């Protein structure tokens, strides 16, 4: 179900961004980490970017080129339309990240609340393979998931929850020796309705 574009198109259809539990007006943590690690001109991909403001914020701050990949065409079209002229600067890719064939490399892979939907080990292996293909040597992977004490479901779907060391072990299982963890943080996401969701965000370097 997490691979169903229909599911995600329905989730996004006719909903204001504020009705999405994961919505952030400003993706502050990702921006803070990216500002500290990346230079303008280095390519970023936001995997499962949906209607996130990250692409727009990065372009406004002079970062980019920026690509946003998502299963949901509805979300991508909504994001593009909201961005107006800036939307033309983004490469939009409608695809399943576990099956997508990257045709270029990126300096940074960003995923907020996508990997945690992958309940099958084969899907997680495929995701890590795509990530390894898509990242340039020395590239960074910034992955946010529900933490081990976070919610058990998101958008009506079950999720896998990770402590930072569990996420690092999962990447190591699927790509031994390829991703070195070097920064991790536990943090709270305040949903638009005012609830708190426990997240973890980890940064890895591709060896």
Ligand X SMILES: C[S@@+](CC[C@H](N)C(=O)[O-])C[C@H]1O[C@@H](n2cnc3c(N)ncnc32)[C@H](O)[C@@H]1O
Enumerate binding residues for ligand X (CB under 6 A): 2-3, 8, 22, 48-50, 52, 70-72, 75, 96-98, 112-114, 117, 154-155
Which residue, chain included where needed, has tokens 């390894």?
132
Residue 136 CA to residue 108 CA, distance in Å, equals 8
Record the tokens describing residue 9, joined without a space: 């198109």
Of 34 and 97, the one with the shorter C-beta distance to ligand X is 97
- Maximum distance among all alpha carbons in the chain? 44
SS3 131: helix
Residue 173 beta carbon to ligand X: minimum distance, rounded to whole angstroms? 19
Residue 11 beta carbon to ligand X: minimum distance, rounded to whole angstroms? 7
Residue 126 beta carbon to ligand X: minimum distance, rounded to whole angstroms? 9
Residue 54 CA to residue 56 CA, distance in Å, equals 5
Residue 177 beta carbon to ligand X: minimum distance, rounded to whole angstroms? 25
Residue 176 beta carbon to ligand X: minimum distance, rounded to whole angstroms? 23
Residue 122 CA to residue 198 CA, distance in Å, equals 26
Of 183 and 197, the one with the shorter C-beta distance to ligand X is 197
Residue 180 CA to residue 160 CA, distance in Å, equals 21
């Amino acid at each position: 179900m997490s691979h169903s574009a229909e599911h995600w198109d329905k989730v996004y259809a006719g909903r204001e961004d504020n009705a999405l539990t994961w919505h952030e007006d400003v993706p502050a943590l990702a921006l803070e980490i990216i500002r500290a690690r990346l230079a303008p001109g280095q390519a970023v991909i936001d995997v499962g970017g949906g209607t996130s403001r990250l692409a727009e914020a990065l372009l406004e701050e002079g970062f980019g080129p920026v690509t946003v990949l998502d299963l949901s065409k509805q979300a991508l079209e909504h994001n593009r339309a909201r961005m107006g002229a800036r939307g033309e600067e983004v490469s939009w890719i409608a695809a399943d990240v576990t099956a997508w064939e990257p045709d270029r490399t990126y300096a940074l892979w960003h995923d907020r609340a996508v990997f945690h939907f992958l309940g099958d080990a084969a899907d997680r292996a495929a995701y890590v393979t795509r990530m390894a293909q898509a990242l340039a040597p020395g590239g960074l992977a910034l992955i946010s998931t529900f933490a081990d004490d976070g919610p058990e479901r998101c958008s009506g779907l079950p999720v896998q929850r990770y402590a930072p060391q569990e996420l690092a072990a999962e990447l190591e299982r699927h790509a031994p020796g390829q991703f070195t963890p070097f920064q991790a943080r536990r943090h709270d996401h305040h949903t638009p309705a005012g609830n708190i969701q426990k997240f973890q965000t980890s940064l890895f370097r591709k060896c």
